[in-house]
Amino acid sequence: MNLMPLAIAISAFALSPLVTGVAHAQVATDVVCNLCVNNSDLSNNSVTSGRIVDGTIKSNDIAAGGVTTPDIADRAVTFGKLSTAVRDALDGALAHPTKTTVEDSAVGLAEAACPSSRVAISASCLCDDNDGANNFGVLFACLVDGNGALAACFDEAVTFNPTLDPPVAIVQAVCLGAESTDGTPWDPTPAGLAPLSDSTDAVEAQAAWHKAQHDALEARAAELRAKRDAHRARLLD
């Protein structure tokens, strides 16, 4: 038996590119797959943020209610990841309300005006006889009006002494102010407290409104002063 042709045939077959020792996988580029990869096919933490291309997950890719609070790790959504509109809204939100007091005392009637950056919210009042140097007083007005608070006192009729001055009125106004989250002060406006604006229109509107508020305080003071003077005039008759 001549073995030479058989040996040559086997050698040729072994060297053929059809029988190689290394297998090469071909990458398919036209595969269409819908729902072929499920949660059960992925190991825990195998898909991280670094493996997701920016912009590839859209809102319509997430089923209604698909991402809930338990799905989001604590502190995973930071301020910088919020949209500009949301960040602006949070920055401008009212965050730090503060109160301050303004006091005044005067014979017969006292008025305490709040600073222009604050709004009067309450008043505390009393009448004092100044250790007997003034007439004993009866408080007949304690109120907030305009940008401040007022206290007005009548001379007490039974103990009235025409040689003494009217009682001393004392008022304390509580004034409310506020700052937004980013430290921007809020100002009182006709619609309530609002973030401070440096636009010309806003500044002019703020100034006009503050003047109107102060005028309202002065008008009420004049009204109460006239009542006090009329009462004292009746006692002197």
Give 5-23 pLDDT, tens digit per residue. Answer: 545 454 554 545 544 555 5
pLDDT recorded at residue 207: 83
Q: Long-range pairs for 222-227 at CB < 8 Å and ≥24 separation?
A: 224/109, 224/140, 224/141, 224/150, 224/152, 225/108, 225/109, 225/152, 227/140, 227/141, 227/152
CATH fold group of domain 96-236: Immunoglobulin-like (2.60.40)
Residue 166 pLDDT > 60, yes or no? Answer: yes
Residue 144, pLDDT above cutoff 80: yes
| pLDDT surpasses 60 at 88 | no
% of residues, the chain, pLDDT over 70: 59
**Given this model, what pLDDT does residue 168 score?**
98
Mean pLDDT of 156-179: 95
Which pLDDT does position 13 carry in this prediction? 47
Domain ranges of the chain: 96-236
**CB-based contacts of 217: which residues, under 8 Å, 6+ apart?**
111, 113, 145, 146, 147, 148, 150
* CB-based contact 162:70 (threshold 8 Å): no
Predicted local distance difference test score (pLDDT) of residue 181: 73
Lowest mean pLDDT among 8-12, 79-83, 176-180, 231-235: 8-12
The Cα–Cα gap between 76 and 96 comes to 26
Average pLDDT, the chain: 79
Q: pLDDT tens-digit profile of 32-68?
A: 676 676 667 677 766 776 677 766 666 666 666 666 6
What's the pLDDT score for residue 177? 85
Q: Give me the percent of the chain exceeding a pLDDT of 90.
A: 41
DSSP the chain: ---HHHHHHHHHHHTSTTS-SS--PPPPS----SS-S-GGGS-TT-S-GGGS-TT-S-GGGS-TT-S-GGGS-TT-S-GGGS-HHHHHHHHTSEEEEEEEEEEEEEESEEEEEPPTT-EEEEEEEEEE-TTTTB--EEEEEEEEETTEEEEEEEEPSTT--TTSBPPEEEEEEEEEEEEETTSPEEEEETTEEEE---SHHHHHHHHHHHHHHHHHHHHHHHHHHHHHHHHHHHHH-
Q: What does the pLDDT read at residue 199?
A: 77
Residue predicted with more confidence, 33 or 156: 156
What tens digit of pLDDT does each residue of 186-235 get? 777 766 666 667 778 777 888 888 899 999 999 999 999 999 999 999 99
pTM value is 0.61
| Residue 2 or 186, more confident | 186
